[in-house]
Amino acid sequence: MPHIIVSPCIGTKDQACTEVCPVECIYDAGDQFLIHPDECIDCGACVPACPVNAIFPEEDVPGGEESFIDKAKAHFGV
């Protein structure tokens, strides 16, 4: 399962997560960063780097934030 970036990233877009991603699968999607679901190797390096606690494994996305799973898939066409 890939990691998902949720609402705390909107408007923040701190690039700390992009700097630690070994496969460079985090992309600027306008209002926030999104992780490409097919490119993510599920290493979790981005999770502790995020200063706003906005990154979760897909299966652990908090309640009410599930729409960000579909947002990432739609953005990347997967």
Q: Where are the domains positioned within the chain?
A: 3-76
pLDDT of 20 above 90: yes
Report pTM: 0.95
- Residue positions counted in the chain: 78
CATH 3.30.465.10 describes domain 3-76? no
> Hey, which residues does 34 pair with through a beta bridge?
27
Buried b or exposed e, range 27-49, using 16+ CB within 10 angstroms: eebeebbbbbbeebeeeeebbeb
Confidence of residue 62 (pLDDT cuts 50, 70, 90): very high
47 Rama sector, left if φ>0, alpha if ψ -120 to 50, beta otherwise: alpha
pLDDT of 48 above 80: yes
Contacts of 75 (CB under 8 A, 6+ apart): 29, 34
